[in-house]
Amino acid sequence: ETGVTQSPTHLIKTRGQQVTLRCSSQSGHNTVSWYQQALGQGPQFIFQYYREEENGRGNFPPRFSGLQFPNYSSELNVNALELDDSALYLCASRVGPSTDTQYFGPGTRLTVL
């Protein structure tokens, strides 16, 4: 196991609702990234946080937002959920933003009805 944990494991929401997903980074890691993985696809980069600041963002709308806390745990918030938001949401942590090896959590499976 990587030491990265995510909660909840599964979640069902309806269109228009808001959701918060949580990630606990591996000890000593100050950088966390979030990804969206649709069924049968590779992970798509959402954004990255380093020392509580967003320092990289993929092609996702502003309704996808995040937070990183002083203990380097992190949240992903999605507002105004759409059906296409149904996916596996992965977080990954690493020692620093310029290091290569990142460790993924098991993901949160979000279903939007």
Partner 1 sequence: GESVGLHLPTLSVQEGDNSIINCAYSNSASDYFIWYKQESGKGPQFIIDIRSNMDKRQGQRVTVLLNKTVKHLSLQIAATQPGDSAVYFCAEMSASGGSYIPTFGRGTSLIVHP
Residues that bind partner 1 (CB under 8 A): 2, 4, 31, 33, 35, 40-45, 48, 50, 55-56, 58-59, 90, 92, 97-98, 100-107
Tell me the C-alpha distance between 46 and 6, whole Å. 16
- SS3 for 62? coil
Nearer Cβ to partner 1 (75/106): 106
* Residue in the block written with tokens 């995040």: 66
Distance CA 113, CA 42 (A): 22
Q: Which of 46, 38, 48 is nearest to 109 (CA)?
A: 38
Shortest approach of partner 1 to residue 15 CB, angstroms?
Answer: 26
In the complex, least distance from residue 16 CB atom to partner 1, rounded to whole angstroms: 28
Least gap, CB of 111 to partner 1 (angstroms)? 15
